[in-house]
Structures are given as structure tokens and as C-alpha cells.
Amino acid sequence: MSRGLVMAQSIEDNIISTIFDKVRNACGLIRKKQVQAVVNRLIASLSIKAPDPRLPVSTLSGGNAQRISIAKWLAIDPRVLILDSPTVSVYIANKAGIYHIISELAAQGIAILMICDDLDEAWYQSHRILVMKQGEIHHTFTPGTSNPTGIAGVVNG
């Protein structure tokens, strides 16, 4: 599975990959203290279990690698975050942690667009579900006024 990470590169390098311009000085050199501050803040806020940010991402579990992927995009302070299948290949125990992160980000005012193939995941984690077919929105559901079985009938019908 691709998470948009360079698995052989360090956790730190992956996290700052979206903000290289912001952490360079006038000579183009990386400001290490600024990098450490950003990396440490994101590792703490996303509860990433990483013994050393200089280790390669490949040393992490799938759930922690997925959190690194989210961290690299949070580094740019987005207003909208698009997550494509954020829990694919993540153990069930780690899914709850990722769902919690998504909920916290939404509570902070970040709009979350989650693309997923898992109907239950969409139903339990969303405020609104849009069903797309051939690049067009065909149906809109809200979990409070629908159920997964009804949505599945539309999706599969």
C-alpha cells in the first residue's frame, strides 16, 4: 500500500517533506531547531510511537506510518484534509486511534474529506456520505437519517 511516504527515508524527512521551503534559511540550509520543533509537535499531537525521528519510516507499524502520512500534511496547516482510505492495512486496534485523530482535526475546524470503500467506516465516521458513480455524485446520505443497509442497496443497485 502506498501512503505517500518514502519508507526508506527518516520519519523526520517525511514529515517535513511538505514544508521544506518553510524550514530553510536564506542560504537554503535546513533550520534543524525549527524542524525538530515541528516534528516533535506532530509526533506528540498524533501520538506517534517512534523511538527516534531519524529512523526510517519502514521501522514503524502500519498505524504509525499512516499517522506520519497525516502528519506531513498537517505540517502545512491545511483547512481541508483529503484522506484516501486512511485505515487500509491498519490493524483494528490502530483504526480507533486514526478515527480519533480525524474527529479531533474536524473539531479543530479542519474539513475532512475521507474517500473509502468501506461502507461501515463511512457511515460511522462521517457527517455526510456522498455516493459517486462514474465521477458524479448520485446520492447523499446523512448517518442520522439513513442506515448502512439502505446505503448499500443504493450503492449496489
Nearest to 100 by CA among 9, 108, 84, 49: 108
Q: Cell numbers of 76, please?
A: 502545512
Q: What is the pTM of this model?
A: 0.86
Give the ranges where 29-142 is alpha helix by DSSP (H). 32-45, 62-74, 92-107, 119-125
Residue 3 confidence class, pLDDT cut points 50, 70, 90: low
Mean pLDDT along residues 21-41: 96
Domain ranges of the chain: 121-157
Rounded to whole angstroms, the Cα distance separating 30 from 34 reads 8
Reply yes or no on whether the pLDDT at 29 is more than 80: yes
